[in-house]
Amino acid sequence: MKQLASLLSMLCVLCAQGQNISNTLCTSPLAEQVLKGLYDPTDFAATTVIGDHAVILCDLRTRVSSDSLESNLRKLEAFHTRHAYSDTLSVTTGIGAARRWAYSKFQEASIANDNRLIPAFLQFDYVDPVCGPASGWRDVFAVLPGDDTTNKSIVLIEAHLDSRCADNCDPICAAPGAEDNGSGSALVLELARVLSRYTFHHTIVFMLTTGEEQGLVGATAMAQYCVDQGIAIKGVQNNDIVGGIICGNTSSAPSCPGPGDIDSLQVRLFSEGSIGQPHRAFARTIKMFYQEKMQAQVPVPMTISIINQEDRTNRGGDHIPFRERGFRNVRFTAANEDGDASVDSAWYNDRQHTSGDILGVDTDGDLVVDSLYVDFHYLQRNAVINGLTATLLALGPETPTSIVHADPGGIRVSITSGFNLAAYRIGVRNASSSSYFDAVYRTTDTSFTVPGLTAGHGYFISVAGIDSATIMSPFSNEVVRLNHAETPAGTVDPLPFGINCVPIGIADPIAHASTLIIAPNPATTAITLISDAPSARSVLLLDPLGRVVRRAAFDPQRELDVSMLSPSCYIVVLLNAQGAPLGRARFVKE
């Protein structure tokens, strides 16, 4: 049955790529003109222009809000279902209500930012080979015009809005789709809110597609629309299942370690890796963007894992239709995933593609969800990586062209365009190495012999440019060459073009511990807090990553229930009436 489900899924994908989509149109003529680059940038100028990438990236760390992401996701979950065939007339239930709400969120972001963001729908009809025909399907998107139409290519940040149950043709069952893909949709909406404040050279598009679960339908409609309308794309960032941190009993390979594993510090990048294609090079670019510009500026650094597959085994996502039409793309996905979607199997008990794909559960009976499957701080970190990527793409240079020579003296790179750039990066991988570079070198020369190579070995070579603002272009498609000579070692690029932001701190868990005593310690079901600070008014419990898991009024000598907490180690912080910290200590729950 699992194999049958996979075949049906692939059949739907193939049908979506063909003639089953028709009558595609953009509901906003203005949005369409901007997508084509046919507009006057001064018509969309910000009252206060903020276009320095360092300022934008530093802002992203705090302006992207976990609270805003949570609010978005709770609203998305409340539509009961966002199935592509669900109700389009109700104001509270179904895909129609969800997409109108998303449109209104784009409008809110526009009003708050000089009306520069242009909301629109991409409307089309579709005939599903299994679920039947439907008309009036709609992707919802918003366009932030760039300030330079010399290069008309856009940057696209996307996620699919629709959700599903086990029966993919059931438009009525509860399908809250919290992780798949409320998490990605909340991220796109949040970045539209945050990035609309800034000015970029390239136009940025924020898009929520429909019909992903029926075979990548909405993404296919948009990708083909871009081809038909001559809309160029610099990069597509697809976000699908980007907020969950718990590994399920099943998970499509390459998979998480095992049931119950928690990972809130890693995100996976999936991309097509064929030689001559730009997609895996884009994934490497994103990783280097993060390492150079952001990793040292955030309190909780993330690991970006480049996966040697376009998607999980026998699975697919909305980046694929763009790849099929030649547009550079990558898929962001959480490190851990709750289910492999084999919902037709009797033993399947994970949440993905079921009514159980919910935000979390109420563990103490107070009717408030307090145990979350989606980690909003993790989702915030993934949103920052997306915002970083879009910012540097939309402000940075084009990839220089080059020729890679297999000279008798070693592999040599000749730069053939981009002579106005300040420097070039040469990425090198051994033909049998991992998915990331073995070494990266930087040069200002337009003819560069790659150092540190062994004679008789094959190497993959990729090139990027760095402009005068220290922003790197995407890396070029890889070229493989056989090296004919030993080349002396060279200096590996230390990625020196970082930024300096005001630090964001996480409270030291043992600072000022003398003002707070915990008894008993370790705790099993409750702790008693005793403080010598008379101004203490409230207490916070933080997990090991500094995230607030409980807030309560401070009452000396009174027990605080910790029976429902899951990690073993916690930080206790006392606050005064103004919210300033007074004392901190740690306790371990056995």
> What are the tens digits of pLDDT across the range 430-441?
977 789 999 999
Predicted local confidence at residue 2, as pLDDT: 39
Asked if pLDDT for residue 6 goes beyond 60, the answer is no
Q: What is d(CA 279, CA 310) in angstroms, rounded to the nearest whole number?
A: 9
Q: Enumerate residues 6+ apart whose C-beta is below 8 A from 291.
A: 495
Burial 17-41 (b: 16+ CB within 10 A, else e): beebbeebebebeebbebbbbebeb
* Local confidence band at 13 (pLDDT 50, 70, 90 cut-offs): very low
Q: What is d(CA 169, CA 85) in angstroms, rounded to the nearest whole number?
A: 8
Asked if pLDDT for residue 161 goes beyond 90, the answer is yes
Average pLDDT, integer, range 447-453: 98
> What are the tens digits of pLDDT across the range 286-330?
999 999 999 999 989 999 999 999 999 999 999 999 999 999 999
* Local confidence band at 518 (pLDDT 50, 70, 90 cut-offs): low
Asked if pLDDT for residue 12 goes beyond 60, the answer is no
How does DSSP classify residue 134? E
Q: Enumerate residues 6+ apart whose C-beta is below 8 A from 16.
A: 126, 211, 214, 215, 216, 217, 220, 321
Average pLDDT, integer, range 144-166: 97
Give, for 13, the enclosing helix (H) or strand (E). helix 2-17
Asked if pLDDT for residue 140 goes beyond 70, the answer is yes
Asked if pLDDT for residue 350 goes beyond 60, the answer is yes
**117's tokens:** 């963001």
For residue 351, the Cα-to-chain-centroid distance in whole angstroms is 21
Predicted local confidence at residue 544, as pLDDT: 66
* Local confidence band at 346 (pLDDT 50, 70, 90 cut-offs): confident
Average pLDDT, integer, range 53-72: 96
Predicted local confidence at residue 554, as pLDDT: 78
Average pLDDT, integer, range 381-401: 98
Decide: residue 188, CB within 10 A, 0-12 exposed, 13-18 middle, 19+ buried.
buried
* Local confidence band at 447 (pLDDT 50, 70, 90 cut-offs): very high
CA 114, 119, 125: angle at the middle one, nearest 5?
Answer: 175
* Local confidence band at 145 (pLDDT 50, 70, 90 cut-offs): very high
Predicted local confidence at residue 571, as pLDDT: 75
Predicted local confidence at residue 451, as pLDDT: 98
Higher pLDDT, 249 or 554: 249
Predicted local confidence at residue 546, as pLDDT: 66
* Local confidence band at 9 (pLDDT 50, 70, 90 cut-offs): very low
Return the percentage of the chain with pLDDT > 90, whole number.
76
Asked if pLDDT for residue 481 goes beyond 80, the answer is yes
Task: Give the residue among 297, 253, 369 at the shortest CA–CA distance from 58.
Answer: 297
> What are the tens digits of pLDDT across the range 482-508?
999 999 999 999 999 999 999 886 544
Predicted local confidence at residue 16, as pLDDT: 47
**358's tokens:** 């919910």
Asked if pLDDT for residue 119 goes beyond 80, the answer is yes
Average pLDDT, integer, range 414-420: 97
> What are the tens digits of pLDDT across the range 171-202?
999 999 999 999 999 999 999 999 999 999 99
Mean pLDDT score of the chain: 90
Higher pLDDT, 23 or 369: 23
Asked if pLDDT for residue 370 goes beyond 90, the answer is no
Predicted local confidence at residue 14, as pLDDT: 46
Average pLDDT, integer, range 270-280: 95
Which residue, chain included where needed, has tokens 């049998």?
432
Helix (H, G, I), strand (E, B) or coil at 429: strand
Predicted local confidence at residue 575, as pLDDT: 76
Average pLDDT, integer, range 38-42: 98
Phi, psi of 34 (to 5 degrees): -65, -40
Higher pLDDT, 519 or 568: 568
Longest dimension (CA), the chain: 80
Asked if pLDDT for residue 39 goes beyond 70, the answer is yes
> What are the tens digits of pLDDT across the range 526-543?
777 777 677 777 777 777
Asked if pLDDT for residue 10 goes beyond 60, the answer is no
Give strand pairing partners of 550.
Answer: 541
Predicted local confidence at residue 409, as pLDDT: 97
Q: What is d(CA 525, CA 522) in angstroms, rounded to the nearest whole number?
A: 10
pTM of the model: 0.85
Q: What is d(CA 156, CA 143) in angstroms, rounded to the nearest whole number?
A: 9
Asked if pLDDT for residue 467 goes beyond 50, the answer is yes
